Structure 1
Amino acid sequence: MVRLTRVQQQARTRAAVLDAAVEEFAEHGYADAKVDRIAARADLTRGAVYSNFTSKRSLYMAVLLDHTSPHASPLPATATSGRLEAGAAAEAFARTWLERLPLAGDSAAAGRLRSRSVTGVFDDRSGRAVLAAITRLESLMLGLALEACPPVAGRRVRLAELILTLLHGADHLAGTAPGFGDPFDVTQACGHLARTTLHDEWDPPHLPFVRDAEPRDDPWHPADGVADDGVLVILGSARLGAAEEAVRAAGGERVTVAVVSGDPAETGALVRLRITEFTACLRRAFPPVAAAPLHIELDDGPALAAAAGAAITDDTETAVRIRDGRIVARASGRGAGHAVAVAP
């Protein structure tokens, strides 16, 4: 008889709960799913479920992260060489993004699971704040990729916001009115949007009033050696929209955004799900030359925060400049990334 270690038994229990939860969420959806039914499907007790997952929401996020994956398809031929024109790049991105939408034959619950929808899951005030912050970061990521595409233009974040508004609208309609609209039309519309000329200036009114960064001369010893010289911004999951302040002020210098969360199983998992999938879509749609000087660090965010002496909460906003293995400037609070990026 083979005896399982405690770790092996925990892993087996967790896997059984996740398998049962996939069935429950696909059949009933998030709102109507019951933890008691999930436990019964897995032949476990309710306590066994909660010993692995602190809430139904954390369990749902674990399902989305562990039991679903983006549908792969090869890059368009034009995306593997040279620089894509902005409209063509936007169309390639839209095609990749729309692949995850539910099929016409999916039930409503199964469709939401397929599209990794979090509609109605984070409907509290703090959850909505995190969703807004994530979408602002996604707009920045797409905008920077479009800015690297010809024709040469200035800021394209507002265009990215319009494209994401259209794509999220298509996502919503796919779940509420299956069969409505043509994804090819949506793709072409995204291309047209990317070719639109918008007045888009970067001039936040609060930045002139941000306190200067504090000069420092401290050793930099992150646990695993990540984060090279440059600007490191530690942002909580509700403050991700502040990433652009550092990027614009850095003027092309490398900026690393380390993401932290006060609740890794819920808001932290939400950030990981959205940003991981979004990054995959960008990589499949844009050629490597479109890579922006922005690196999002999800795995080692807490370790980098600890090395920089930053708090780990949803509202964290701390930045340091690293040079030759030392911290030479530091700032905390609103505008920290900007202050460090412009520091002498």
Structure 2
Amino acid sequence: MVRLTRAQQQARTRATVLAAARQEFVEYGYALAKVDRIAERAELTRGAVYSNFPSKRALYLAVLVEMVENVDTVAPAASPGTAADALDAFARTWLERLPLAGDTATGGRLQLRSLAGVVDDDAGRTALAQIACLEALLLALGLESCAPEDTAPRRVRLAGLVQTLLAGSGFLAETAPGFGDPFDLTRACRHLAALDLADTWAPAHLPYVEPAEPCRQAWVPPTGLANQITGDSVDLGADGLVTVLGARRLAASEEAVRSARPGEQVTVVAVTDDPAETGNLVRLRVGDLTASLRRVFPPEAWRHVRLVIDDDAAVASAAGLTGVGDETEAAVRVQGGVIVARARGRGAAYAAADTEIGTKSRKATT
């Protein structure tokens, strides 16, 4: 008999619980699902379930994360020719999640990755709004890659509009199945690319951001982390900007991307007070989006941007940041294996982005 290690046994138990939980959620939905029944399905005790997942919501989110992580993605050979082509392909890919006519209401909600009735507290809703801003940025960067880098317009408002349209179609599929035509939605998304939304990047607070603190600290980042955008492992040792953002500050991701020098590597590190719930909420929404993005855009669309979910705050610790959580907004600039600037608070990425020119002089020219 082969004796399993503790880690192997824990992984097996976790997989068993997830399989049982998925059956429970398909049959009963989130609201009526019972942890006791999940334990019975898994042939485990209630305590064994809670030792792996602290709440029913954490368990539901873990089931959805496993679903999106198992979605097959095949990267295209080349970038779409235009933003319209990209939105056409993205909408078709995203709409594959819509339930079929014969699906049950509970099974359809799981297929849709529905969060209705799951995230209903103020902290969770705030985090979802911030995650939506991050999603819009990731889609926008893909759309912007369809034009030459020096002439590409900002596409964040367009991406947000597409998100709104597709999310609305998902809500209708959940509450009024069969309404609407996916082909009409795809065509509508394609035509949105022609709208002039007067999209510019000019945050009002930037002229008032305090300068970064110069420093000289060895940069020894953790290894084994994954880029949530492409799924590849991340080498954090390169020069560039590392921004650590809590789940309720993720909208500041764009500030990091837009403030960096042309061609500079930008790493956004998401941290949270609650990895099992809020952390998995970030992982779910980002993973769900990138599963579609990878089928439309080649990895080069985000070649200067990486996204890391850091449940243990290991990157923040390496950067000399303590007390990080959902409200954190901080950044460091790395040059030659050394942290040369550190900033914390609103505008941290902008402040840390360039220490040679100096924050104050750059503000004067913004």
- TM band (smaller chain): over 0.9
What is the identity, as a one-letter code, of the residue corresponding to 1:258?
A: V
Deviation, 1:66, is 2.4
1:102 and 2:99 matched: yes
Residue in structure 2 matching 1:269, options 262, 280, 283: 280
Gaps of 5+ in 2: 224-234, 357-366
C-alpha contact 1:22 1:67 (8 A) present in aligned 2: no
Counterparts of 1:199 and 1:67, CA distance in 2: 37
1:328 and 2:340 matched: yes
Which secondary structure does the structure 2 equivalent of 1:105 belong to?
Answer: coil
11-20 vs 304-313, greater mean Cα deviation: 11-20
Show CA shifts across 1:52-76 (max 9, x none).
111111111111122555654766x
C-alpha contact 2:271 2:310 (8 A) present in aligned 1: no
Residues 168, 227 of structure 1: CA spacing in aligned structure 2 closer, same or farther, 3 A cutoff? farther
C-alpha contact 2:272 2:311 (8 A) present in aligned 1: no
Deviation, 1:189, is 0.7
2:238 is aligned to 228
Q: TM-score, normalised by structure 2?
A: 0.87
Which secondary structure does the structure 1 equivalent of 2:65 belong to?
Answer: helix
Counterparts of 1:65 and 1:218, CA distance in 2: 36
Counterparts of 1:70 and 1:17, CA distance in 2: 17
Which secondary structure does the structure 1 equivalent of 2:295 belong to?
Answer: helix
Counterparts of 1:31 and 1:147, CA distance in 2: 40
Counterparts of 1:113 and 1:82, CA distance in 2: 31
Deviation, 1:250, is 1.2
What is the identity, as a one-letter code, of the residue corresponding to 1:44?
A: L
Which secondary structure does the structure 1 equivalent of 2:306 belong to?
Answer: strand
Deviation, 1:88, is 0.5
Which secondary structure does the structure 2 equivalent of 1:285 belong to?
Answer: coil
Deviation, 1:194, is 1.4
C-alpha contact 1:70 1:100 (8 A) present in aligned 2: no
1:210 is aligned to 209
79-88 vs 53-62, greater mean Cα deviation: 79-88
Deviation, 1:137, is 0.4
What is the identity, as a one-letter code, of the residue corresponding to 2:165?
A: L
Residues 60, 185 of structure 1: CA spacing in aligned structure 2 closer, same or farther, 3 A cutoff? same
1:37 is aligned to 37
1:26 is aligned to 26
Question: Over aligned residue pairs, what C-alpha RMSD do you find?
Answer: 2.1
Residue in structure 1 matching 2:324, options 303, 312, 317: 312
Deviation, 1:154, is 1.9
Counterparts of 1:133 and 1:115, CA distance in 2: 20
Q: Percent identity between the aligned chains?
A: 58
Deviation, 1:233, is 0.2
1:256 is aligned to 267
Residues 22, 256 of structure 1: CA spacing in aligned structure 2 closer, same or farther, 3 A cutoff? same
223-232 vs 254-263, greater mean Cα deviation: 223-232
2:112 is aligned to 115
What is the identity, as a one-letter code, of the residue corresponding to 2:244?
A: I
What is the identity, as a one-letter code, of the residue corresponding to 1:254?
A: Q
Counterparts of 1:268 and 1:36, CA distance in 2: 25
**Where do 1:182-221 residues align within 5 Å?**
182-221=181-220
**Where do 1:59-74 residues align within 5 Å?**
59-67=59-67, 69=69, 71-72=71-72
Deviation, 1:306, is 1.2
C-alpha contact 2:68 2:287 (8 A) present in aligned 1: no
Show CA shifts across 1:263-284 (max 9, x none).
1111101111111222222121
C-alpha contact 1:17 1:49 (8 A) present in aligned 2: yes
**Where do 1:93-172 residues align within 5 Å?**
93-150=90-147, 152-172=151-171
C-alpha contact 1:84 1:286 (8 A) present in aligned 2: no
298-307 vs 114-123, greater mean Cα deviation: 298-307
2:308 is aligned to 297
Counterparts of 1:227 and 1:137, CA distance in 2: 24
Q: How many residues align?
A: 341
64-73 vs 204-213, greater mean Cα deviation: 64-73
276-285 vs 25-34, greater mean Cα deviation: 276-285
Q: TM-score, normalised by structure 1?
A: 0.92
Counterparts of 2:36 and 2:255, CA distance in 1: 46
Counterparts of 1:70 and 1:181, CA distance in 2: 28
1:57 is aligned to 57
109-118 vs 145-154, greater mean Cα deviation: 145-154
**Where do 1:240-251 residues align within 5 Å?**
240-251=250-261
Counterparts of 2:206 and 2:284, CA distance in 1: 31
Deviation, 1:301, is 7.2
C-alpha contact 2:333 2:339 (8 A) present in aligned 1: yes
Which secondary structure does the structure 2 equivalent of 1:23 belong to?
Answer: helix
C-alpha contact 2:333 2:342 (8 A) present in aligned 1: yes
